[in-house]
Amino acid sequence: MSINLTVENFIRNEILFEDTSIDLSPDRDLIGSGILDSLALLRLIVFVEESYGIVLEQEDIDVRNFQTINRINEFVKEQQSRVQKNGSIKSSL
């Protein structure tokens, strides 16, 4: 399953409680539209980390990285590439 579809399904099922009336097009502003509030954003960040085996550093947690489903897709790929390049997952602990 693609990153876009996985993230869309998570938002639809876990944040919107399966509300299919809300538009989740890939370029829709999830934060500006009110789909993601601060708690929902935190849940999404944890989901992304767990689903894609990445550990986000504090500087990575920028709302712009989670603004749209397309941007989340790009961000996850960037993080996966960084992990592959460095050969390990950097931990903030």
In a domain, 42, yes or no: yes
pLDDT band for position 87 (cuts 50, 70, 90): low
Would you state the pLDDT for residue 1?
A: 87
Please tell me what DSSP assigns to residue 88: S
Q: Tell me which residue range forms the domain holding 16.
A: 3-86
Please name the residues in contact with 59: beta carbons below 8 A apart, sequence gap of 6 or more. none
In a domain, 8, yes or no: yes
In a domain, 46, yes or no: yes
Mean pLDDT, range 40-46, rounded to an integer: 97
In a domain, 91, yes or no: no
In a domain, 35, yes or no: yes
Mean pLDDT, range 61-80, rounded to an integer: 96
Q: Read off the CATH number of the domain in which 81 is found.
A: 1.10.1200.10
Would you state the pLDDT for residue 92?
A: 42
Would you state the pLDDT for residue 82?
A: 86
Number of domains observed in the structure of the chain: 1
Residue 21 scores a pLDDT above 60:
yes
pLDDT band for position 84 (cuts 50, 70, 90): confident
